[in-house]
Structure 1
């Protein structure tokens, strides 16, 4: 990758080593999205993980979009952890 800039490389790449994004994969309407959480009930789409080309035409799943959702209880026992509910 080439970057043409009047700024010295030290200024351009300053803080790059400290950048550690926290991404999660979630399923939305049967599609897997890699997201960055923006709070308790919002996430910003980082990328769509799909083999269906039609999924990439849906603007709701494009990178940068904000998804709002409400957490749901999993119906699969032990899906979150292996401890059964008490």
Structure 2
């Protein structure tokens, strides 16, 4: 990653290592997912935890997709 700035590197990277995303393990049917809550009852899928290969091919369950946290 290249970054061109006139700011000191300490100021640019301040707080960079303090961010820790909060993940929730969610189960829908027989599929377990790792979800990052985005607010308003929604979350972004981070990872599919399933041994069934068919669950990884569903377009609505791909990492990055938004889902409702409340069924």
TM-score band, normalised by the shorter chain? 0.7 to 0.9
TM-score by length of 2: 0.73
Question: Which gives a bigger RCO, structure 1 or 2 (Cα 8 Å, sep 6+)?
Answer: 2
Question: Aligned partners of 1:40 and 1:57: how far apart in 2?
Answer: 27
Query: What are structure 2's unaligned runs of at least 5 residues?
Result: none
For structure 1, list consecutive stretches of 5 or more residues without a partner in the other structure. Answer: 72-86
Output the TM-score relative to the length of structure 1. 0.62
| Aligned: 1:7 with 2:3 | yes
Larger radius of gyration: 1
Q: Which runs of 4+ in 1 moved over 6 A?
A: none
**How big is the shift at 1:42?**
0.8
Q: Does 1:57 find its partner at 2:46?
A: no
Q: How many residues align?
A: 65
Deviations 1:31-78 (A, max 9, x none): 10000112242111011001111111011111110002436xxxxxxx
In 1, Cα distance between equivalents of 2:21 and 2:37: 10
Aligned mates of 1:40, 1:6 — CA distance in 2: 35
Question: Does residue 45 of the first structure (1) align with residue 45 of the second (2)?
Answer: yes
Structure 1 counterpart SS, 2:39:
coil
